[in-house]
Amino acid sequence: MSKNVLITGASSGIGEALAKECAKRGDTLFLCGRNNERLQAVADACRSLGGVVYAETIDVTKKDDVEAWVKKCDSIAQIELVFCNAGVSTGEEIEKNIRKTFDINVGGVVNVVLPTIEVFRKRANELSNPGLRHIIIISSIAGYGPLKSCPSYSATKSCVKTWGLALRGMLKREGIRVSVICPGFIRSRITDKNTCPMPFFMEADKAARIILRRVDKNVGLIAFPWPMRLATWILSILPYKCNEILNSILPKKVS
């Protein structure tokens, strides 16, 4: 059954792959990204695959713009799935890059989630059957623990992972679903720039299919591939001294 789907950061990587997979099943798509040329190319591809597409250039750090866009999309077709996917890699750990990472990876998620919750709650108050209401936050395997190779990135992904899982518990009684996605190394503009080893590397279309299957089953924490999930989970529960030793032998990421 087709759905109404909103995706941020849809102009590349996982966001683009999710959009194309959703288009194949005939979904109505609301897409945003910062690069209009790439975004429109994705929109055209999704239309050719069978999706109904509304695409708009949006900067997720602009709170008022994001709120207005979410509400406008819902007025066109009641949003059922909201993928908070927009994110960046830090690169060199300097102040400008660190602030940008937090602004987009944390602030951008907050700017999408809060108006979405408002829209979902309003629908429940106005309709006897508010329908499917599901928020999906894209975190990362890096969110499982502090990583010396990407301090700011791992911190922001840890933040949205924890927030999303806590929201899942808080919003469950209201009938609002929340899932958190923690993928490993997936082909994207971020991984294209990586200089560190990327074990269990996965193409974005395969990752998108995994995500959609598990989202449809309302899985709360979707982390894959499993060997990386296991390794990062072990890293996260070890005493910090062990974590520190393991981090010391990890290869340095060259910016």
**Domain positions in the chain:** 4-249
Confidence (pLDDT) at 249: 63
Cα-Cα-Cα-Cα dihedral of 89, 61, 9, 106, to 10°?
50
Question: 223 Cβ partners below 8 Å, 6+ apart?
Answer: 141, 144, 181, 182, 183, 229
Count CA atoms closer than 13 A to 127's CA, side-chain side: 13
Instruction: Specify whether the CB–CB gap between 69 and 82 falls below 8 A.
Output: no
**Among candidate residues 206, 189, 178, the one with its CA nearest the CA of residue 17:** 206
Confidence (pLDDT) at 254: 44
What does the DSSP 8-state code read for residue 219? Answer: -
**Among candidate residues 54, 142, 148, the one with its CA nearest the CA of residue 105:** 142
Count CA atoms closer than 13 A to 95's CA, side-chain side: 0
Confidence (pLDDT) at 157: 96
Instruction: Specify whether the CB–CB gap between 213 and 203 falls below 8 A.
Output: no
Binned average pLDDT, 10 residues per bin, the chain of 255 residues: 96 96 98 96 98 98 98 98 95 95 98 98 94 97 82 95 98 98 80 61 90 98 86 76 69 53
Do strands 52-57 and 177-183 pair parallel, antiparallel, or not at all (unpaired)? unpaired
Please give the Cα distance from 48 to 65 (Å, whole number): 28
Please give the Cα distance from 190 to 214 (Å, whole number): 24
Confidence (pLDDT) at 192: 54
Confidence (pLDDT) at 226: 81
- What is the pTM for the complete model shown? 0.90
Number of CB atoms found within 10 A of residue 113's CB? 21
**Among candidate residues 84, 42, 125, 81, the one with its CA nearest the CA of residue 216:** 81
CA distances in angstroms from 70 to 38, 113, 150, listed in the order given: 21, 10, 31
Which of 3.30.70.240, 3.30.450.20, 2.60.40.2220, 3.40.50.720 is the CATH number of 4-249?
3.40.50.720
Residue 113's SS3 state is helix
Please give the Cα distance from 139 to 184 (Å, whole number): 10
